[in-house]
Amino acid sequence: MSTVVASAAVARRQQRLDRGARVGRAGMWVVLLGALLLSVAPGLYMLCLSFMDNPQLFAGRLVPYPRAWVASNIGRLYWNSVYVSTASMVATVALSALAGYGLGRIRFAGRGVVYGIVLIGLTIPLQIALIPLFMNLRTLGLLNTPFALIGPYTGFGLAFGTFIMKGFFEGLPRELEEAARLDGAGELGIFARVMLPLTRPAVATVAIFLFLQNWNEFLFALTFITEGRMRTLPTGIYALLSSEFYGNYPILAASLVLFSVPVLVLYFVFQQQFVEGITAGALKH
Amino acid sequence: MLSIAARRSWRRHAAGYAFVGPALVVLAAFLVYPIGYSVWLSFHEWDGYTPRWGPFVGLENYRALAGDEVFWRATLNSIVFVAVRTPLEVGLGFLLALLLNRRLVARSLLRTLFFVPVVMSLIVVTIIFQRVFEPNTGLLNTFLRAVGLGAFTHPWLGDPATALPAVIAVSVWKNVGFSLVILLAGLQSLPQDVVEAARVDGANAWQLTLRVITPLMRPILALTALLSIIGGLKVFDLVFIMTRGGPTYSTEVLATMLYREAFELNHMGIASAVAVILVALVLSIARVQTFVLDESRAGGKA
């Protein structure tokens, strides 16, 4: 008898728990789907706007795209952005692989100071360099050239790249190096033949992270490039805002879609590397 | 005559510099030299056009800033910006990270999509949200009218009272995914045996989250908050494109003030002083970050 009562009580308790869990699950999905809606809605809104012929009508045609392509001279902007982002990415990866190896595996005097500079570069606002770089680039006649962006992007990306590469090289086992040293390899040989091939994941992380960062960079691009022809995508599209297309949202939105597509494709393809770059930068000091 | 050991160590130092040398040159040119330049320029007067800097004025630029209402407005706005955005970003990011840290259908798809705002360029984000906040045909006001809340329609970016909150909202929208990714990685690195032991001891989901997981996560939460604070102090693009610091300086922050002083008003000395103050703020926060990290590392070992 008492066992029946007890088991009924247990069943009721279980039922209450189940109900609680069900409510909890429902609440969880409400939060998740709400967050999902908020995350993607603005992007979808942009997509909708870009298909409208005028702000009131949803035309469902691609009308704004050819006009946006012409209006913002987007082919030229694309080329500038690809060129600048790729060049500084390649330079940064090469320099930071070398520096990361030096900092991570060779105990030389002054290593702490060099690493200190890297850490400062990791956090310092790039605004500090805005005026000095502008003045020097102007003096050297380099404003409105690709170098005006490639140089500063490389300089500021280098801190991040070196930081990641150093962490990676430090993590590689000593034995690798010792075996090569016994075989008579010098420092450069160890770096190039033994270590570098192992760092492919770190190189991928640094490369993809910096490419996207350069692709989106606005402040330096706004200040160091004033000629329309030399602009990169962010400032080229920004310039549309103060042109005859101000308020012409279909054209603007179409330009924005064209601008975002490569970024999103890269992100979806290299998501792993990108997320690694972020968490490594944050958690691994 | 050098002993063999000394020669070997000399070669080691040389090898070290051979590897870091090229990077060091670039860092010196684009980072170290500009910092020195800015600090030194902040003690001078200069319009940016004369080939030589103007006279050395000592701390005059800093004194001028101390008496400048716009500077205090910008500082206050920067602080409000950070003080509102950081708890929201970290709080919402943590909530979503906790939810995604369970076995869940479409978990990685959700994480991927939550992160999309982070990779989107700020120029894209700001233009979309300008459109969302547009008073007449903008998405937000249209929505409010459609659901019968027409009384609440508002020129969000045009009113000094709502412009800063609107900008902060966009910033939170853009960065929650960033906190989420870091916190999720943190959750996945927690010692699973501790969590499992608490579960075996009969802790329910709430107790588990509040009493076990949150305390374990404290250092990573603090770190995420610090990153958000640093990012918030640096904010430029978002404010500059969305409101240009207006209306009537209601959204002016230190970074936009710097840009205006330098490239619209040609006060290079004053602008450099703002840059130096901004850097001092950011580096002092970053200093706290290393403390937190040291503490968490010590805690991890204990």
Cβ contact, residue pair A238, B268, below 8 Å: no
Instruction: Considering only the beta carbons, identify the residue of B125, B128, B278 that sits closest to A127.
Output: B278
Q: Is the pLDDT assigned to residue B77 strictly greater than 80?
A: yes
Task: Give the distance from residue B123's alpha carbon to the nearest chain A alpha carbon, in angstroms.
Answer: 6
In a domain, B56, yes or no: no
Query: Does B144 reside within a domain?
Result: yes
Distance (Å) from the alpha carbon of A29 to chain B's nearest alpha carbon: 9
Q: Which residues of B touch A268 (CB under 8 A)?
A: 112
Classify residue B170: in a domain, yes or no. Answer: yes
pLDDT tens track for A126-185: 889 999 999 999 999 999 999 999 999 999 999 999 998 998 888 888 888 888 888 877
Residue A190 confidence (pLDDT) above 80? yes
- On the question of pLDDT at A72 being above 90, the answer is no
Among the partner-chain residues A24, A252, A263, the one whose CB lies closest to the CB of B127 is A252
User: Is B180 contained in some domain?
Assistant: yes
Q: Assess if residue B57 is contained within a domain.
A: no
Residue B89's pLDDT band, with cuts at 50, 70 and 90, is very high
| Residue B37, pLDDT score | 93
Q: Which residues of A touch B233 (CB under 8 A)?
A: 125
Please, are residues A221 and A96 in contact by the beta-carbon 8 Å criterion?
A: no
Count of domains in chain B? 1
Does A247 contact B at CB distance below 8 Å?
no
B218 vs A276: which has the higher pLDDT: B218
Query: Rounded to a whole number, what is the distance in Å from the CA of A235 to chain B's nearest CA?
Result: 8
Higher pLDDT: A92 or A72? It is A92
With b for 16 or more beta-carbon neighbours within 10 A and e for fewer, the A206-235 pattern comes to bbbbbbbbbbbbbbbbbbbbeeeebbbbbb
Contact B200, B111 (CB under 8 A): no
Which residue is associated with the tokens 């150093």? A166
The answer to whether the Cβ–Cβ distance between A155 and B31 falls below 8 Å is: yes
B24-43 mean pLDDT: 93
CATH number for A73-283: choose from 1.10.3720.10, 3.30.360.10, 3.40.1360.10, 3.40.640.10: 1.10.3720.10
3-state secondary structure chain A: CHHHHHHHHHHHHHHHHHHHHHHHHHHHHHHHHHHHHHHHHHHHHHHHHHCCCECCECCCCCCHHHHHHHHCCHHHHHHHHHHHHHHHHHHHHHHHHHHHHHHHHCCCCCHHHHHHHHHHHHHCCHHHHHHHHHHHHHHCCCCCCCHHHHHHHHHHHHHHHHHHHHHHHHHCCHHHHHHHHHCCCCHHHHHHHHHHHHHHHHHHHHHHHHHHHHHHCCHHHHHHCCCHHHCCHHHHHHHHHCCCCCCCHHHHHHHHHHHHHHHHHHHHHCHHHHHHHHHHHHHCC
Name which of A56, A131, A263 is nearest B262 (Cβ-Cβ): A131
Sort out which chain B residues have CB atoms less than 8 A from A231's CB and list them: none
Domain that holds residue B93: 68-301
What band does B302 get if pLDDT is binned at 50, 70 and 90? very low
Q: For residue B254, tell me if it sits in a domain.
A: yes
As a whole number of angstroms, the distance between CA B135 and CA B155 comes to 5
Residue of A14, A74, A123 for testing the chain B interface, max B β-carbons within 10 Å: A123
- What is the interface size between A and B, counted as CB pairs within 8 Å? 252
Decide if B167 is inside a domain: yes
Q: Give the mean model confidence (pLDDT) for residues B18-25.
A: 93
Q: Which pLDDT does position B124 carry in this prediction? A: 87
User: Which CATH number is B216's domain given?
Assistant: 1.10.3720.10
| pLDDT at A267 exceeding the cut of 60 | yes
Q: Greater confidence, B106 or A285?
A: B106
Per domain, the residue ranges of chain A are 73-283
Residue ranges of alpha helices (H) inside A183-245 are 187-189, 200-216, 219-224, 233-241
pLDDT band at residue A3 using 50, 70 and 90 as cut-offs: low
- Bigger pLDDT: A48 vs B279: B279
* Residue B23 falls inside a structural domain: no
pLDDT digits (tens, 9 = 90+) for B160-203: 888 999 999 999 999 999 999 999 988 988 888 888 888 888 77
Residues of B in contact with A106 (CB under 8 A): 12, 15-16, 19
